[in-house]
Structures are given as structure tokens and as C-alpha cells.
Amino acid sequence: MPAQQPSGALPLYLQISEMLIRDIASGRLPRGTRLPPEREMAKSLDTSVGTLRKSLAELEEKGLLERRQGSGNYVKGSSAPEGIYALYRLELLEGGGLPTARILDVQRLPKPADLPEFGASIEGHRI
């Protein structure tokens, strides 16, 4: 489990659920794994139990987690978990984590002639 809270533009509960989705998809949290108790997990992520529970509810809704009253939270797994970052394949060198990016420049330019057609405008944004 990560030792610190992720940072980014998404609400914290989504950042946590995305981090867990990536860990499930990569096999770091295999099917049947029992997650740590919610209080411990929330403390390790430096968040409230309520925020963590909202994250876990997201995973349960996606079919990735089974929440058993009085027993704990268990990874159900999925062949292809779909998270917000499903198209990204970037990870930290030590594994896991959320992809991050810093925008260096944004320009509105005429579309180059050699690009496939997309959109109705003759201009596009270069990020």
C-alpha cells in the first residue's frame, strides 16, 4: 500500500480509487487479497475513513472489490479494470501511482495538412 496521499487535480477519493485500480490491473493486488483495515489504510494514505470508504465504494461499483461487513474488503479483480487513466500506461519506477503531467505550453494553431481529419475547425490545440 502507498505510504502517502497522492496529489493531483482529481478529488482525493478518485485519486485513491484510481491508484487501487492500477494496483489491481497490474497484479500488485491480486484477486482474493484482503485490504488492510479501513482505519489503517486511511491513516497510511493520510486521509479520513469517510474519504477512503467513498473510494472503496467506487471500486465496489466497478466490480473490483467485495466489501464484507465485519470481515473486510477483498479484491475481486477484473480482466480489464477501467479507470480514468485506462489509456495511460505510465507508472512510477517502483510501480503503481498515478500518471502525472505538467503542461509546458498550449497553442491554437492551423491543423497541419498531413494530419487525419478531425473536428470541424481548421485549427487545433497543441499541448
Question: Which pLDDT band, with edges at 50, 70 and 90, does 3 fall under?
Answer: very low
- The DSSP bridge pattern shows strands 123-126 and 65-68 to be unpaired
Is 55 within the bounds of a domain?
yes
Is 120 within the bounds of a domain?
no
Is 127 within the bounds of a domain?
no
Length of the chain: 127
Compute CA 4 distance to the chain's CA centroid, rounded to the nearest angstrom: 15
Residue 79's pLDDT is what?
Answer: 56
Q: What are phi and psi of 107, to 5 degrees?
A: -135, 145
Is 4 within the bounds of a domain?
no
Residue 86's pLDDT is what?
Answer: 56
Cell 493520510 appears where?
Answer: 46
Residue 5's pLDDT is what?
Answer: 45
pTM for the full model? 0.60
CA distance 20 to 123: 38
Instruction: Indicate which CATH number applies to the domain containing 59.
Output: 1.10.10.10
pLDDT tens digits, 7-45: 556 889 998 998 898 888 878 889 999 999 999 999 999
- Structural domain that includes position 73: 12-80
Is 93 within the bounds of a domain?
no
Phi/psi-derived region of residue 4, left when phi > 0, alpha when psi is between -120 and 50, beta in every other case? beta
Residue 24's pLDDT is what?
Answer: 87
pLDDT above 70 coverage of the chain, percent: 72
Is 42 within the bounds of a domain?
yes
Is 117 within the bounds of a domain?
no
How many other C-beta atoms can be found within 10 angstroms of the C-beta atom of residue 35?
A: 19
- The DSSP bridge pattern shows strands 65-68 and 72-75 to be antiparallel
Residue 4's pLDDT is what?
Answer: 47
Q: Work out the angle at residue 115's Cα, subtended by the Cα atoms of residues 108 and 90, and round it to the nearest 5 degrees.
A: 75
Structural domains counted in the chain: 1
Average pLDDT over residues 60-73: 92
